[in-house]
Amino acid sequence: MAIGQIQAAVTGARPEAGDDALPAHVAIIMDGNGRWAAQRGLPRVAGHRAGVQAVRRTIEAAVAQHVGWLTLYAFSSENWRRPETEVRDLTGLLRHFIRSELDELHREGVRIRIIGDRGRFDTDIQADLVAAERRTTANTRLNLTVALSYGARGEIAAAARAAAEAVRDGKLDPASITEESFAGYLSTFGIPDPDLILRTSGERRLSNFLLWQSAYAELVFTDVLWPDFGASEFAEALAEYARRERRFGARPG
């Protein structure tokens, strides 16, 4: 690991794409909007609004740092249990975000994918999500995956169900199921596993996020609350990643 690469990440200079010191895929658990608002005596929705600004900054940082894949945990399958007003605030922000940002994201070369149970959102949002995916499908600069109404256990159970149905229909031999072929039933099919999973706000949990895909991910936790997250915090996380030695279960060489 060259010191220069770490410095490059900290100073914002660009490490080379394809460099092992640079994670190809960064996945982020955006946490702390509520606490950020409470610290300021503001309603929770103000924290979520500020969180959307942090989403914008983070997408820009990922593009600037040549990270090819970015996944954001925007709404968990458990978030539906929050009070109705907060769910409405969050879905409203999502609706507004897609409508106001899509042109710019498309211009920037961002390809948008959605994972999760999108069928639980209002039909106009579902239509916007499909439109965003279709419109940006040929973009290659940044692959942005937004996890919405997503839960990893639900995802794995759905994959098991689909494989079982294929066996029942005589299309799949159970003996042929491997880790690789099973991954093909997950919603992340075609997306490389995350190299780095980052969580803000000091919590140290995965909270049902990418449980299968995170098997060998480096986990980085920062005390920064999500609305305060931006380019320099993103660069710091990349620098922390660059300091880690990844062995994938093997012995150090």
Q: Which is nearer to ligand FPP, 94 or 196 (CB)?
A: 94
CA separation for the pair 166, 71 (Å, rounded)? 29
Residue 77 within binding range of ligand FPP, rule CB under 6 A:
no
Q: Which of 19, 20, 33, 79 is catalytic?
A: 79
Neighbours of 141 (CB within 10 A): 14
Lookup: tokens for 196: 């780095």
Q: Which is nearer to ligand FPP, 94 or 235 (CB)?
A: 94
Sort strands 142-150 and 218-221 into parallel, antiparallel or unpaired. Answer: unpaired
CA separation for the pair 58, 63 (Å, rounded)? 9
Task: Give me the 178-217 binding string for ligand FPP, x by CB under 6 A, dash otherwise.
Answer: -----------------------x----------------
139 annotated active-site: no
Residue 116 within binding range of ligand FPP, rule CB under 6 A:
no
Q: Which is nearer to ligand FPP, 125 or 220 (CB)?
A: 125
Among 51, 68, 116, 194, binds ligand FPP (CB under 6 A): 51
The least distance separating ligand FPP from the CB of residue 79, rounded to whole angstroms, comes to 5
SS3 146: strand
31 annotated active-site: yes
Q: DSSP of 16-81, one letter per residue?
A: PTT-TTS-SEEEEE---HHHHHHHTT--HHHHHHHHHHHHHHHHHHHHHTT--EEEEEEEEGGGGG
The least distance separating ligand FPP from the CB of residue 31, rounded to whole angstroms, comes to 5
CA separation for the pair 229, 233 (Å, rounded)? 6
Q: Which is nearer to ligand FPP, 100 or 181 (CB)?
A: 100
